Chains A and B, each alone.
Chain A
Amino acid sequence: MGFGVAFTPFNLMMAVAGVLVGILIGALPGVGPPSGVAMLLPLTFGMDPTSGIIMLAALYAGTMYGGTITAVLINTPGESASVVTCLDGYQMALQGRAGPALGIAAIGSFIAGTIGVVLLMLISPVLARWSLAFGPPETFSLMLLGLTTVTLLAGEDPLKGYISMVFGLMLAMVGYDIISGDARYGFGIVEMMDGIDFLPAAIGLFGLGEVLAGAEQKGGAVLKTSLKLRDVLPGMADWARSKWAIARGTAMGFLVGVLPGAGPTVASFLAYTVEKKISKHPEQFGKGAIEGVASPESANNAAATAAMVPMLTLGIPGSATTAIMLGGLMMWGLRPGPMLFEKNPEFVWGLIASQYIANVMLLILSTLFIPLFVRAVRIPYSILMPLIVVFCVTGAYSLKNNLWDVGQMLVMGVLGYFMKKLGYSPAALVLALVLGPLAERALRQSLIISDAGIGILFMRPISGVLTALALLAILVPTVRAILKK
Chain B
Amino acid sequence: MRNADRVTAALLLAFAVAFSAGAVKNYQWWGAGGPGPAFVPFCLGIVMALLALMMLVRSIREKNPGEAWFPRGEGLRDMLVVLAVTIAYVALLDVTGMVVGTALYLAILVRYLGKHRWWVTLSVALGAGLFNWVVFVHWLRVPMPEGMFWTF
Partner among B34, B90, B124, B140 whose Cβ is within 8 Å of the Cβ of A383: B124
How far, in whole Å, are A212 and B81 apart by their CA atoms in the complex? Answer: 10
- Report yes or no: B114 in contact with A382, Cβ–Cβ below 8 A: yes
A225 within 8 A of partner (CB): no
Judged by a CB distance under 8 angstroms, whether B148 is at the interface is no
Residues of chain B lying within 8 A (CB to CB) of residue A387 = 106, 124, 128
Interface magnitude class on chain B: 35 or more
A22 to B35 CA separation, bound complex (whole angstroms): 44
Q: Which of A411-456 contact B (CB under 8 A)?
A: 413-414, 417, 421-422, 440, 443-445, 447-448
Select which of A159, A184, A413 is within 8 A of B55 by beta carbon. A159
Q: Are A43 and B140 closer than 8 Å at their CB atoms?
A: yes
Query: CA separation between A45 and B140, bound complex, in Å?
Result: 8
The distance from the CB of B34 to the nearest CB of chain A, in whole angstroms, is: 3
Q: Which of B71, B90, B94, B98 has the most chain A CB within a 10 Å cutoff?
A: B90
The interface stretch among A246-254, A316-324, A394-402 is: A394-402
Interface residue SS majority, chain B: helix
In the bound complex, do residue B28 and residue A182 qualify as a contact, i.e. CB atoms below 8 Å apart?
yes
Determine if B65 is an interface residue (Cβ-Cβ < 8 Å).
no
Contact of A159 with B51 in the complex, beta carbons under 8 Å: yes
Interface residues on A, range: 35 or more
- Complex CA gap A150/B122 in Å reads 44
List of A residues within 8 angstroms of B37 by Cβ: 177, 179-180, 182, 184
Instruction: Provide the bound-state CA to CA distance between A398 and B34, in Å.
Output: 39
Q: How far is the CA of A440 from the CA of B41 in the complex (A)?
A: 9
Are A162 and B51 in contact, CB atoms less than 8 angstroms apart? yes
Chain A window 165-198, contacts with chain B (Cβ cutoff 8 Å), 1 for yes, 0 for no: 0110110010001011010110000000000000
Measured between beta carbons, the chain A residues less than 8 angstroms from B87 are 410
**Interface contact B31-A180, CB-CB below 8 Å:** yes
- B139 interfacial contact with A, CB 8 Å: yes
In the complex, what distance in Å separates the CA atom of A213 from the CA atom of B19? 29
Closest residue of A by beta carbon distance from B27:
A182
Residue of B nearest to A163 (CB): B51
Contact B35 A447 (CB under 8 A): yes
Residues on the A chain within 8 Å of B100, using CB:
none
A166-B44, A170-B48, A401-B142 known; A390+B102 contact, CB < 8 A:
yes
Q: How far does the alpha carbon of A443 sit from the alpha carbon of B87 in the complex, in Å?
A: 39
Smallest beta-carbon distance A180→chain B, Å: 5
The reply to whether the CB of A333 lies closer than 8 angstroms to some CB of chain B is: no
- The residue from B8, B19, B139 contacting A422, defined by CB atoms under 8 A apart: B8
A410 with B86: CB separation less than 8 A: yes
Bound state CA distance, A43 and B135, in angstroms? 8
Is A393 in the interface zone, CB < 8 Å from B?
yes
How many inter-chain contacts with C-beta < 8 Å in the A-B complex?
159
Residues of B within 8 A of A386 (CB): 105-106, 109-110, 113, 124
> Which B residues between 30 and 81 are near A, CB-CB below 8 angstroms?
31, 33-37, 39-41, 44-45, 47-48, 51-52, 54-55, 58, 69-71, 75-76, 78-79, 81
Annotate B116-131 by CB proximity to A: 1 below 8 A, 0 otherwise: 1000100010001000
Instruction: Check A179–B31 contact: CB distance below 8 A.
Output: yes
Whether a CB of chain B sits under 8 angstroms from the CB of A229 is no
B24 interface residue (CB < 8 Å to A):
no
- Chain B CB within 10 Å, residue with most, of A169, A173, A208, A390: A390
Complex Cα spacing A386 to B71, Å: 20
* A170 near B27: Cβ-Cβ < 8 Å: no
Given contacts A182-B28, A216-B78, A448-B33, contact A394 B98 (CB under 8 A): yes
Which partner residue on chain B sits nearest A446 by CB separation?
B34
Instruction: Say which residue of B22, B39, B105, B114 sits within 8 Å of A390 (CB atoms).
Output: B105
Q: A41 interface residue, CB < 8 Å from B?
A: no
Neighbouring A residues of B8 by C-beta, 8 Å:
422
- Nearest B residue to A389, CB-CB: B86
Which A residues touch B4, using CB under 8 A?
A: 422
Closest to B73 in A: A216
Q: Which of A377-393 contact B (CB under 8 A)?
A: 380-383, 385-387, 389-390, 393
- Given A163-B52, A216-B75, A386-B106, are A397 and B142 also a contact pair (CB < 8 Å)? yes
**Min CB gap B52→A, angstroms:** 7
A-chain residues with CB within 8 Å of residue B90 when the two chains form the complex:
393, 403, 406-407, 410
- Known contacts A385-B82, A393-B102, then 13 further A-B pairs from the complex at CB < 8 Å, ordered by chain A residue: A46-B139, A166-B44, A170-B45, A184-B41, A216-B71, A382-B110, A401-B142, A403-B94, A403-B145, A421-B70, A445-B34, A447-B35, A448-B35
Closest 3 CB pairs of A and B: A382-B114, A448-B34, A216-B75
Can you name 16 A-B residue pairings with CB atoms under 8 Å? A45-B140, A159-B55, A170-B41, A170-B45, A170-B48, A180-B31, A216-B78, A386-B124, A387-B106, A389-B82, A389-B105, A394-B136, A397-B142, A398-B142, A421-B69, A443-B35
Q: Point out residues on B near A: beta carbons under 8 Å.
A: 4-5, 8, 12, 16, 19, 22-23, 26-28, 31, 33-37, 39-41, 44-45, 47-48, 51-52, 54-55, 58, 69-71, 75-76, 78-79, 81-83, 86-87, 89-90, 93-94, 98, 102, 105-106, 109-110, 113-116, 120, 124, 128, 132, 135-136, 139-145
Chain A residues in the interface with B (C-beta under 8 A): 43, 45-46, 159-160, 162-163, 166-167, 169-170, 173, 177, 179-180, 182, 184-185, 208, 211-213, 215-217, 380-383, 385-387, 389-390, 393-394, 397-398, 401, 403, 406-407, 410, 413-414, 417, 421-422, 440, 443-445, 447-448
